[in-house]
Amino acid sequence: MRTIRPGDRGDDVRDVQRRLSALGSHLDSGELEGVFGPTTESAVRAFQQRRGLLVDGRVGPETWNELVEAGYRLGDRILYLRMPMFRGDDVRTLQRRMNSLGFDAGREDGIFGEGCDRAVRDFQRNVGMDRDGIVGHETLQELERVRPPTDDERSGATLREVEALRKMRASLEGSRVAIDPGHGLQDPGAVGPSGLTEADAAWLLASSIEAELRRRGAEPRLIRTGNEDPPAAERAARANRWGAEVCLSIHLNAHTDPRAEGSMCLYYGHDSATSQAGLRLAEAIQDELTSRIGLTDGRTHPMTITLLRETRMPAVQVEPCFVSNPREERLLGEEPFRRDVAIAIVHGVERFLGARPSGTGSGVAGGGGSGAAIADAGAGVPSDEGAAPGVADAGPGETPPEGQTRLPA
Ligand SMILES: [Zn+2]
């Protein structure tokens, strides 16, 4: 293209002026008919300054490209990974939104590259869409729905539970609580010294929790039957399809050291994104299990295991005891103990629901207040150093880096 400069007239000048006006520049009406006069020149200079271009008041190829890119608003066109890559402010906005929601779209450079593609697919999976990587109407609608509550796009909130939070009740009454009894027939999990399997103990605990929730007016549901062992992704999908408001996955911990004991709660999180709602749910449950029953505190831990990652409501994996500990294994076999554990967990869920901000606060953009609930949660991830519960006196080398967490299958 030729460089358009002060003094020029014509359609290409008019095109430049139209783009500058659309970006908010004020041009003298006498120039608007395609005359490159002084106000057009100062608008070009201001634009160049803003966009980090050489400021010369002329529209050469670079400034022209930048004008074109600046003109795109998210939704103007369908975005996806292609060659040459899409460039523009719509891509930049998309990258900023993805990053703010915890999906790593990389540098916000306005270029739809592989990082952006990955983030989009990740996002799509998290909201239950086809992972086609195409940012069209549907994906934009989902993005709009989970929009953070302020223009500060850097809130770091994760979105996975936003939708569930929006629908969630403020009490147990009528709340849909999915309960996932860990393991099953094919993979019974850890086995205690007297032969109690993790699968059996989890099933018994899940049944107690279900009964307690029902007694308290909630709507609980086990997401597997007694004789199946669905993969974690299927368990998560069932909780999603049912529209659960909270998901509790029940496992038992295990360790080669039989002295290892106590309770631990896992929620979704990694270096750059944490489910704040999951964290609060985990802390409420963990607090009840340790203070109400006196179980040793193995604390809460962020994890990215499938069930926590793929469920869209606040979800935790509760491991109230070590099935490998002879005393705790015996307790797990006793109905009153299981009921106590169930009551503690249900209290934790109740506290979580009750403590949730109502979400009707003012100034929340994008409809619904759930985003505020997440953004306001504030609390950081608890530090994770040190040994896990009850084995402070275990021999050197006994405790793996992640405490004594036996990574779930
Ligand atoms: Zn397990």
Nearest CA to 265 out of 398, 389, 176, 357 is that of 389
Q: Which residue do the tokens 């006069």 mark?
A: 37
Q: How far is the CA of 408 from the centre of ligand 1 (A)?
A: 5
How far apart CA 130 and CA 173 sit, in angstroms, is 33
pLDDT tops 80 at residue 163: no
Q: In the structure encoding, which two tokens stand for residue 40, read together?
A: 């057009």
How far apart CA 67 and CA 56 sit, in angstroms, is 15
CATH 1.10.101.10 applies to domain 89-153 = yes
Q: How far is the CA of 146 from the centre of ligand 1 (A)?
A: 32
Its sign, for the CA torsion 111, 117, 120, 122, is negative
**Considering only 80-94, 252-266, 383-397, which range has the smallest mean pLDDT?**
383-397
Q: How far is the CA of 218 from the centre of ligand 1 (A)?
A: 25
Q: In the structure encoding, which two tokens stand for residue 19, read together?
A: 């783009």
Query: In this structure, are residues 6 and 36 in contact, taking their beta carbons and an 8 Å threshold?
Result: yes
Number of residues that this document lists for the chain: 409
pLDDT tops 90 at residue 14: yes
Residues with CB under 5 A from ligand 1 (ion): 182, 189, 251, 408
pLDDT tops 60 at residue 139: yes
How far apart CA 57 and CA 53 sit, in angstroms, is 10
Chain CA centroid to CA 189, Å: 28
Q: How far is the CA of 68 from the centre of ligand 1 (A)?
A: 54
Mean local confidence (pLDDT), 105-128: 89
Tens digit of pLDDT for each residue in 189-210?
Answer: 999 999 999 999 999 999 999 9
Q: Which residue has the higher pLDDT, 224 or 151?
A: 224
Q: In the structure encoding, which two tokens stand for residue 184, read together?
A: 């099953």
The domain ranges of the chain are: 11-70, 89-153, 176-375
CB-based contacts of 343, cutoff 8 Å, min separation 6? 212, 292
- Give residue 312's pLDDT: 84
Chain CA centroid to CA 320, Å: 25
Do 89-153 and 176-375 agree at the fold level? no
CATH 1.10.101.10 applies to domain 11-70 = yes
- Give residue 355's pLDDT: 66
Q: How far is CA 281 from CA 268, 276, 355, 359, in A?
A: 11, 9, 10, 17
How far apart CA 79 and CA 283 sit, in angstroms, is 40
Name the CATH superfamily housing domain 176-375.
Zn-dependent exopeptidases (3.40.630.40)
- Give residue 167's pLDDT: 57
Residue 373 burial (10 A CB sphere; 0-12, 13-18, 19+): buried
Q: How far is the CA of 242 from the centre of ligand 1 (A)?
A: 23
pLDDT tops 50 at residue 403: no
How far apart CA 375 and CA 368 sit, in angstroms, is 13
Q: How far is the CA of 393 from the centre of ligand 1 (A)?
A: 24
Q: How far is the CA of 264 from the centre of ligand 1 (A)?
A: 12
Q: How far is the CA of 237 from the centre of ligand 1 (A)?
A: 18
Q: How far is the CA of 181 from the centre of ligand 1 (A)?
A: 9
Q: What percentage of the chain carries pLDDT values higher than 90?
A: 55
- In one-letter notation, the amino acid at residue 381 is V
Mean local confidence (pLDDT), 217-229: 95
Q: How far is the CA of 183 from the centre of ligand 1 (A)?
A: 6
- Give residue 298's pLDDT: 93
